A = this chain, B = another copy of it.
Amino acid sequence: MVTITDIAEALGITPSTVSRALAGSPRVKEDTRVAVLRKAEEMGYQRNIMAANLRKRRSDIVGIVVPRIHRQFFANVISGAESILNEAGYNVMICQTMEKLDVEIKVLRTLRNHQVAGVLLSHAIEARDSKHLAALGNIPLVQYDRVFFDYPGAKVVGANCEGAFKATKHLIESGYRKIGTIAGFMTSQAYVERLAGYRLAIESAGIPFNPDIVYENAIVRETGREAALKALEAGCDALYCCGDFCALGAVEALQEKGVRIPEDFGIVGTANEFFTSLMTPALTSLGQNPYEMGREAARAFLEGRTDTTVIPMELQIRSSSIRNTICQK
């Protein structure tokens, strides 16, 4: 393992100068700079990142915390963030919380112990408040997607309210009459806002908001099934779903009951996961631009922002929400 001292000796100068030359400091003569660079190359020098980090009391790693890596949404956020961070010379450490609070706490402690340069976080469903985030100390934190607004610092969120409004309005315009919603967990602001957007669309259309057809705490396939069956019993003919997995469950449960989609019942999901386009019928879904969200979160960290950035959401209209012409009349 060749060190800056080795290079210094080979060149008859001191490690300090080598260090400066390697760091591109202006306080070093051009000649010696090129000499150092060439020698370093020649000797196969590789900077010891540990030593540098210890000295600087900060690592070159940025932690990215996601609930689950399996979701296309988060995989895309990661890729987006990585694209920006790598360019800026940072490396990325990806951590999954599996939606569990205790894992999230453990993960944050690990990142803190590693003295990472920053953390991009979308909290676990189980995390009901922001208390545990303080464990990061003064490490810059950017919250994305699922954020706690009461915690200071940069945030990058989707236009949840606006998006859910568009999605619900689309269902209304498709001719559905009694539109319920699978609403997720009210402990998370993102879901609260989606519900608000849903409500706004409903009321804007002159329909009274009916809390009986708001199905909270559902987000996965199985709970989506249960919610859909309740909605059917309550006389609904459409559902705006806060996620694609619960929407999938809803579609399956309804189809098993002989309900035709979209003729009898309209469904819209959220996230625009890859599988939605392969379902029968293909699922209309509210896309969240995760790649762009990841890039924005990374930029927010790099620029030391403390404000909130909103990423637009786009409704990808497919078959599950379009009544055929006969029904539309």
A residues near B (Cβ < 8 Å) are 46-51, 53-54, 59, 61, 69-70, 72, 75-76, 78-79, 82, 91-96, 109-110, 112-115, 248, 274-275, 278-280
Contacts and interface: CB of A to CB of B under 8 A. Distances in A.
Contacts of A96: 79, 82
Contacts of A70: 72, 75-76, 79
Contact of A112 (B46, B72, B75, B95): B46
Contacts of A280: 280
Please tell me how many copies of the chain the complex holds: 2
Contacts of A248: 278
B47 A50 contact: no
A23 to B, nearest CB: 15
A50 B46 contact: no
A91 B110 contact: yes
A278 B282 CA distance: 10
Contacts of A275: 274-275, 278
A87 B61 CA distance: 22
A69 B279 CA distance: 23
A76 B114 CA distance: 25
Given A46-B109, A48-B115, A70-B75, 14 more contacts: A46-B112, A48-B113, A49-B115, A50-B59, A50-B115, A51-B54, A61-B93, A70-B76, A91-B110, A94-B94, A248-B278, A274-B275, A275-B275, A278-B279
Contact of A78 (B53, B69, B279): B69
Contacts of A274: 275
Given A75-B75, A248-B278, A275-B274, A47 B82 contact: no
Contacts of A92: 93-95
Q: Which of A50, A70, A110 has the most CB of B within 10 A?
A: A50
Nearest to A276: B278
A56 to B, nearest CB: 9
B69 A75 contact: yes
Contact of A113 (B49, B69, B95, B109): B49
A53 B51 CA distance: 9
Contacts of A61: 93
Nearest to A69: B75
Contact of A79 (B48, B49, B69, B93): B69
A33 B78 CA distance: 42
24 contacts: A46-B113, A48-B113, A48-B115, A49-B113, A49-B115, A50-B50, A50-B54, A50-B114, A50-B115, A69-B78, A69-B79, A69-B94, A70-B72, A70-B75, A70-B76, A70-B79, A82-B96, A91-B93, A91-B114, A92-B94, A93-B94, A248-B278, A275-B278, A278-B278
Contacts of A78: 69
A16 B274 CA distance: 55
A112 B95 CA distance: 20
Contacts of A47: 113
B48 A54 contact: yes
Q: Which of A49, A110, A115, A248 has the most CB of B within 10 A?
A: A49
